[in-house]
Structure 1
Amino acid sequence: MKPVFQNYLEEHREKHLGELFELLSLPSVSSLSEHKDDTQRAAEWVAHSLRQLGMENVALYPTAGHPVVYGEWLKAEGKPTVLIYGHYDVQPVDPLHLWETDPFEPQIRNEAIYARGSSDDKGQVFMHIKALEAILQTTGTLPFNFKFLIEGEEEVGSPNLPAFVEEYRELLKADVIMISDTSMLDEDRPTVCYGVRGLAGFQLDVKGPKRDLHSGLYGGAVQNPIHALVEILQSFRNEAGVITVDGFYDRVVPVTDEERAAFQSLNMTEESLKEEVGVKELFGEQGYSHLERTWVRPTLEINGIYGGFEGEGIKTVLPSEAHAKITCRLVPDQDPEEILELLQEHVKKNTPPGVEVNITLFDKGTPYVTPFEHPAIQAAGRAYEKVFGVPTAFTRGGGSLPIITTLDEVLKAPIVLMGFGLPTDQVHSPNEHFKLKNYDKGLLTICHYWYELEEAMK
């Protein structure tokens, strides 16, 4: 027999899709000032939807940027509290000419919803609202107390949310934090992501002579900033893929045997990765699988390098300056502040004579892991399996979600990352879409999760 919430979701499917299309039609591009009013309207739409659901104390909290939407349902006396986080803002749509249909005129084709924000993250936020609606309308109550924290600046790095969370820490206090802003491995492989890597980014600016010089007149007598930059960059890593910055690995927590076994069980081969990215050989830190290198080991990558003449043909110039942008992905228990200090010291030690180097620090975020065996994580796996009928994959994310750092440090509650998008959803790209199959199954999975978690937390 179907659960009552499943019957409700099936009966109201077309109505709910119509509501989702309303939200997707709002061009809430947080990075563009021309869409400030649209982003405000999206916040108001989410607030209205929460009120319709039955949330109380729903409010739009102003920030220096776009507002934060909050709502709560605290009628489950004596039960734990869950905080659901998400965002209503979206990425810009450029290049527009590559979209097959208007990015803000949602359309269903190929069994998927095509629109900006369909997968990241409006579609997944909407699913949480409707999953709770299905339970509340069919049972009259909810298994937990619930709070919603939906922001409008995730796509620009959440600049104002950390201060908001700190100021309203008592309002946001919870026992479990739920985020659906990740993806599954594929449409038939449900996935719980129980950790993400941190981030430390910086830029190197190497300055040599006061102007570009004629390489015939000055080459060989004056240090070339590009050569100097290359020498510094080469010093960061050896031929075995090991980062050679003193102290870089000192705080790295080794992966457990249980986690390594879970990774191996995924059967994600190196051959499939080579085919996916179009290379003949992989490269990385020796002694680790490609999954360990991308999920549980730290990295240092050069993201951009430029300087000198870049036009057509050749220009015999000794450039005045050269630049590189670098990011490190960090793992528990690395501290981004400490890592950036180690990197700056390394650069000083490895700067050749004849140039000056300036370092500009950029984004940083702390890595996060919810223990693999935590009841909230294992309950998520069981909920997926009930709906998808196959074992759940447990992964760590290679990317970074900086706001997780704030939620972890301030609220001190376990964070569960249950995503329903796919790597092929083309988020941040033209023709972003969200599979209807994942939308439908995701709604059921969320509903089942709350009951699985209720049982696990008794």
Structure 2
Amino acid sequence: MTNSADQGGRDQAIAKIDCYFRNSFNDDLASLIAVRSESQDPAFAGELRRYLDMITSLVDQFGFVTSIEATADASPILLANRIENPEFGTVLIYGHGDVCAPDTRSWREGLDPYVLTVEGDRLYGRGTADNKAQHLINLQALFAILQQKGSLGFNVKLVIETSEEIGSPGLRKFFKANADRLSADVLIASDGPRLRSGVPTVFMGSRAALNFELRVNLRERAYHSGNFGGLLADPAIILSHAISSITDARGQIRISEWRPTSLTDDFRTSIASLPLLVDGPSIDYDWGEEDLTPIERAFGWNSFAVLSIHSGNPASPQNAIAGSAVATCQLRYVVGTDPAEILPALRRHLDDNGYKAVQLVGRREDAVAATRFAPDHPWVEFVVASISATSGMRPDILPNLAGSLPNDAFTEILNLPTIWIPHSYAGCCQHAPNEHVLSPLVHDALRNMTGLFWDIGERGGKIQ
């Protein structure tokens, strides 16, 4: 990736990031973890702004021009840029500073979600994996190069939002209004897990997710199950049967519009040799689409899930027939699924199968697009070659992540190729108690990103 004359500088920059990892990374991460930046609770709105103020102070030291603004949902967003030369290419970097509510009582004894705790190779704290450590790694890689040679050799624009954990509701509108300010040649960002903790992963898109509620409201209150059993319809039974009609007993989707058209032979070939996520739970091989491999189910197909279901009082069941029942459900979907047809198709399915009593309530205004692009794109090939040169191993290459990210905002609004390089692993407990990252993975990621940004600078930020 780098000619022999410049290899010494690249090696020295990586040596600087090695030193940073040993001496300062944990302290910097601890200060970010200490900010209770929960986007799900309006009471912590001030903490969202405080987090962005901390990132502002960090990038100000390296010549970035910054502004903190509000999106349509009033969540603050940080924009920063370092424009070295209008003739250079521009890399857009993204991260999110908000975290999920931690459910503090469920964390293991001795762990505090907002205090970084180091136990062996594990760094515990809310936001370590998702997403504070990940964008801290990318920023520090930039800083190592600036400390080494005083310039990057390309332009950088930075976006740190604070509402990703609630679906980034104002991000797309903000991008549409500020598309010129965010113009770039490529997005390089980090979120999600590697497929294997010891092997880098590169992915270029993501499944999208649409949450919705199914409700059955039959009466205002519950009635005695002895006096009225057999006389009053049970909303929980109606709801359970409605849900079971959506898939068969092994979770295979029965709604034709929810079955994607994009699992082509070429796509199957491109993911056939990928490993399943390791370090996570054991896979149920008899679940999901029977004719697909587990890899195809995760990255090339749609999945339906019931996130929660409620009727009566689960904490103290009464001998009564409830008046209502509700389930929160989700469809994770890939390219080849029309997002505008997801809920209308479900409504038709419910009506056709006799479930007109089931109300369907969307949880967001618009369904977003799933995204992916080809692994032979020049930016993908360049990133893979750079990481291979630094790490000594070829990354796992995914056309799209199985999880969901606001990637469509970059591909559909800003028209960018998108390269995601995750710095976590499947067992990180993202969104769950005891969230953590692995120190060896962090060190590896710091080195890979420093090498990558160095290589981009050697090309003036222009790959094509």
TM-score bin, normalised by smaller chain: 0.7 to 0.9
In the alignment, what sits opposite 1:276?
A: 281
Counterparts of 1:113 and 1:222 in 2: how far apart (Å)? 54
Q: How big is the shift at 1:68? A: 1.1
Deviation at 1:445, TM superposition (A): 0.9
2:332 is the counterpart of 1:329: yes
- Which residue in 2 is equivalent to 1:397? 401
Counterpart code for 1:86: G
Q: Relative to 1, partners in 2 of residues 1:178 and 1:224: Cα closer, same or farther, differing over 3 Å?
A: same
What is the DSSP-based 3-state SS (H/G/I as helix, E as strand, rest coil) of the residue aligned with 2:239? helix
Cα separation, 2, equivalents of 1:53 and 1:365: 35
SS at match of 2:180: helix
CA contact 2:36–2:47 (8 Å) conserved in 1 = yes
Task: Kindly provide the amino acid, as one letter, of the partner of residue 235 in structure 1.
Answer: S
**C-alpha spacing 1:282/1:5, structure 2 compared with 1 (3 Å):** same
Task: List runs of 5+ in structure 1 lacking aligned partners.
Answer: none
1:74–1:145 CA contact under 8 A, matched in 2: yes
Q: Which residue of 2 aligns with 1:419?
A: 422
1:309-345 deviations in Å (ceiling 9; x for gaps): 6466772x44332222221111113222211111112
What do the CA deviations read for 1:401-448 (whole angstroms, capped 9, x no partner)? 1x2222222101011111111122223333322222122211121122
Match of residue 145 from structure 2 = 135
Q: How does 1:16-415 map to 2 (within 5 A)?
A: 16-55=25-64, 57-63=65-71, 64-96=73-105, 98=108, 100-208=110-218, 211-215=221-225, 217-238=227-248, 241-249=251-259, 252-257=261-266, 259-268=267-276, 276-277=281-282, 282-308=286-312, 310=314, 315=319, 317-352=320-355, 356-363=357-364, 364-395=367-398, 396-401=400-405, 403-415=406-418
Aligned residues: 447
- C-alpha deviation, 1:383, in angstroms: 2.8
C-alpha spacing 1:256/1:53, structure 2 compared with 1 (3 Å):
farther
Counterpart of 1:277, as a letter, is S
* C-alpha contact (below 8 Å) 1:380/1:418 kept by paired residues: no
CA RMSD of aligned residues (A): 2.8
Rounded to whole Å, the distance in 1 between the matches of 2:281 and 2:119 is 25
Per the TM alignment, residue 4 of structure 1 is displaced from its structure 2 partner at its CA by 2.3
Following TM superposition, by how much is the alpha carbon of 1:376 offset from its aligned partner in structure 2, in angstroms?
1.9
Is the 1:47–1:70 contact (alpha carbons within 8 Å) kept by the matching residues of 2? no
What percentage of residue pairs aligned between the two structures are identical?
A: 25
C-alpha separation in 1, matches of 2:463 and 2:275: 32
The counterpart of 2:15, out of the listed 7, 10, 13, is: 7
Q: Secondary structure at the match of 1:286?
A: coil
Displacement of 1:44: 0.8
Q: 1:184/1:24 Cα in 2 relative to 1: closer, same or farther (>3 Å)? A: same
What's the CA shift string for 1:207-251, capped at 9, x where partnerless?
Answer: 3356544555554455433332233223212357542224333x5
Question: 1:158/1:268 Cα in 2 relative to 1: closer, same or farther (>3 Å)?
Answer: closer
The CA deviation string for residues 2-50 of structure 1, in whole angstroms up to 9 with x for no partner, is: 6121122234441454333333333323333443333322211101111
Instruction: Give a deviation string over 1:277-303, Cα, whole Å, max 9, x none.
Output: 376x52111210011112110122222
Aligned residue type for 2:382: A
TM-score (normalised: structure 1): 0.88
Q: Deviations over 1:175-216 (max 9, x none)?
A: 111221122123212111222111222111113356544555
CA spacing shift, 1:21–1:452, aligned 2, 3 Å: same
* Amino acid of the structure 2 residue aligned with 1:252: T
Residues 149/278 of structure 1: CA separation in 2 closer, same or farther (3 Å cut): closer
